[in-house]
Amino acid sequence: MDTRKESIELSEEVLKTLLSCGTEIDELYRRFRELRVLEDDLSFQSALLKVEHAFFMLVQSMNILREQLGLLKIASEKGEVY
């Protein structure tokens, strides 16, 4: 069964969702960063910093997913997967 067309359609849907989510995630990250800067308690600042780091890792994962979706499209056009 050739699923290339369905895979590309799904990947385009995922890319649209990533763009939408990315904008929201960026705003949430900014708000946590602002709270950390305003916080006086160093131990709570540390907890907020860990949340910021988790946001960073989330964005990195989203970037990897976006890259793999791009490679999927190339593979579907060339018929090759590396």
Identify whether 27 is part of a domain. Answer: yes
Identify whether 82 is part of a domain. Answer: no
Instruction: Measure Cα distances from 38 to 6, 22, 48, 54, 80 in Å.
Output: 48, 24, 11, 19, 51
Identify whether 46 is part of a domain. Answer: yes
pTM attached to this predicted model? 0.81
Per-residue pLDDT in tens (0 to 9) along the chain, 82 residues: 888 899 999 999 999 999 999 999 999 999 999 999 999 999 999 999 999 999 999 999 999 999 999 999 999 888 665 5
Q: Which domain range does residue 55 map to?
A: 4-74
Identify whether 63 is part of a domain. Answer: yes
Total number of domains in the chain: 1
Exposure string for 56-76, b = 16+ CB within 10 A, e = fewer: eeeeeeeeeeeeebeebeeeb
pLDDT value of position 77: 85
Identify whether 10 is part of a domain. Answer: yes
